Amino acid sequence: MTREIPGFYYDPEKKKYFKIQANHVAPPNAQYSQQSVKRKRSELATHENKTRFRQRENKEMIRKAPSLRHPLVNLQREIGAIESSSRARQEQQARIQASQLHRGELHRFEPWPSSYSIRYVLRNPRSGTLIAGSARGYESSVSVCFPDIDESQWSYDHTMERVLFREPYSLGSMSLSHSGYLLATMNEGPQGDCFLSAHLLPEPDEGGNYRWPTFSHPIRIRPHYPMSFWCSAAQPAGSSAYFAIGTSEGLHTLEGTSSHWTLSKKPFKGNILPTRTRAPPKHSSQRSVHAVEWMSQDVIAAGQKNSNIFLHDMRSGGSATRLRHNDAVMEMKQMDEYRLVAAGPSSLRMYDLRFAPKMLERHDSSKPYLTFPEFSSLPFPTFDLSTELGLLASPSQDCKIQLFSLQTGLQVSSPLTGHQYSSPPSCVRFEYGNDTPEWRGPHGPSLLVGTDDVVEQWTW
């Protein structure tokens, strides 16, 4: 080992000592200036460290026996030598997530004047306002509960409840647009009539108070001819509030703001406006749309009672039947821009539009991308899915919530699936935490469950 001499540098290649020159005296590119020597010593130290690490690694590493690599043994996957597929990893993550669910009561709505059964639950992600659509006999109501924003997380109290409206109608659906407009579809009124109710929900001001807009009463939009409003879905983004509505007379859209709204019928084969001379039979399965979902900002998927699923393009105004379910289509949810899940009273299937034939054979159902053989539905099926968790949740008639894997279609065991309710839950809705200042809900995904007059929140 060479001896260190202050002010000199030993060059191992030349085996000589050289005087270290000051940086301001040494000529450009000098090999033994203070800066050059510092760099060489750093490189030498790095090289020595790497050499020592390799020596230690070779000495201490436990190597697998060659027999484990033999194809007849096939233990490489079990010991992690071969990575599993992304689908298998997602399935494993979904089961782990489901096993960590725990239950909590989010809010119990007050009876007005007697108890109602919750049918639909929504929460405004910007304001935290909890919205519940309820029914009792032939009467329906829509109530909101404003959160206490002084807390670190949204909490709810019955003193902050408000009834938006109560009507002797049947509540068909509820949708909330990104701009804060709530749409409720109302059917089967005293005269057999129906209407759409649009309401702009208030946002909290700087002091945390909620002030109602100028139009505090819901706007009623009535159709120009008899029909029933079955379902609705809000456009995910856009410059204004825009809704797709499934009716007994085909697909419609609703666009507007404040008190100015336009209800438009979208053309489709067999979807013709009724005339005075020849009124079509009510609720004809050839026209009736019972499920709508936005596949993108411009494309609407509409499911019909006769099992057909057609797509309508807002840009071109054209429509085409792309899928045929093996049951009446009563509910649909988008998984991504190509895949959607459709449910009927006895069937739940996932379809991929990329594999759908352009022409459907008569009376033949489309080949599903994935099936859910253990699906058990309520009389009117309802479900929600989370692509982040890879799970689908659906209430069943045995007073439980079913969880399915979006990778295999099989049921997933969880504390949620093991919980027994006193009556069948009526609705489920996944929520996603975000990092915006307005969001004060759970930081991770959560599931809202409506049962009787209670909204529960299952969190991870």
pLDDT (tens digit, 9 = 90+) per residue, 59-68? 887 776 665 5
Give yes or no: residues 8 and 138 share one domain: no
105: its two tokens: 């009561």
Give yes or no: residues 26 and 118 share one domain: no
Exposed/middle/buried for 391, CB within 10 Å: 0-12, 13-18, 19+? buried
Give yes or no: residues 108 and 160 share one domain: yes
Give yes or no: residues 171 and 304 share one domain: yes
Provide the number of structural domains found in the chain: 2
Of 443, 231, 403, the residue nearest 332 (C-alpha): 231
Give yes or no: residues 445 and 334 share one domain: yes
Give yes or no: residues 299 and 363 share one domain: yes
- Characterise 128 by phi-psi region: left (phi > 0), alpha (psi -120 to 50), beta (else): left
Q: What is the pLDDT of residue 239?
A: 82
In a domain, 396, yes or no: yes
- For residue 49, the enclosing domain spans 1-57
Per-residue pLDDT tens listing for the chain (460 residues) = 678 888 888 888 888 888 888 888 888 878 888 888 888 888 888 888 888 888 888 888 777 666 555 555 555 555 555 555 667 777 777 788 788 889 999 999 987 666 778 999 999 988 889 999 998 878 899 999 998 876 678 889 888 888 888 889 999 999 999 988 999 999 988 888 899 999 888 877 666 667 766 545 667 888 888 889 999 999 998 888 999 999 999 999 999 887 789 999 998 764 444 444 344 444 455 789 999 999 999 999 999 999 999 999 999 999 998 899 999 999 999 999 999 999 999 999 999 999 887 667 667 889 999 999 999 988 889 999 999 889 999 999 999 999 999 999 999 999 999 999 999 999 999 998 776 666 777 878 899 999 989 999 998 8
The whole-angstrom separation of Cα 27 and Cα 7 is 18
388: its two tokens: 């982040």
Of 207, 132, 139, 115, the residue nearest 174 (C-alpha): 132
- What dihedral do alpha carbons 323, 327, 329, 335 form, nearest 10°? -60
Contacts (Cβ under 8 Å, ≥6 apart) of 58: none
In a domain, 92, yes or no: no
> For residue 69, which phi and psi values (nearest 5 degrees)?
-85, -5
Give yes or no: residues 108 and 47 share one domain: no
Of 115, 197, 102, the residue nearest 449 (C-alpha): 102
In a domain, 131, yes or no: yes
Exposed/middle/buried for 246, CB within 10 Å: 0-12, 13-18, 19+? buried
Q: What is the pLDDT of residue 383?
A: 96
- What dihedral do alpha carbons 134, 135, 140, 142 form, nearest 10°? 0
In a domain, 276, yes or no: no
Give yes or no: residues 105 and 38 share one domain: no
In a domain, 245, yes or no: yes
In a domain, 74, yes or no: no
Give yes or no: residues 41 and 139 share one domain: no
Last residue of a domain, one of 23, 41, 57: 57
Whichever domain contains 326, its CATH number is: 2.130.10.10
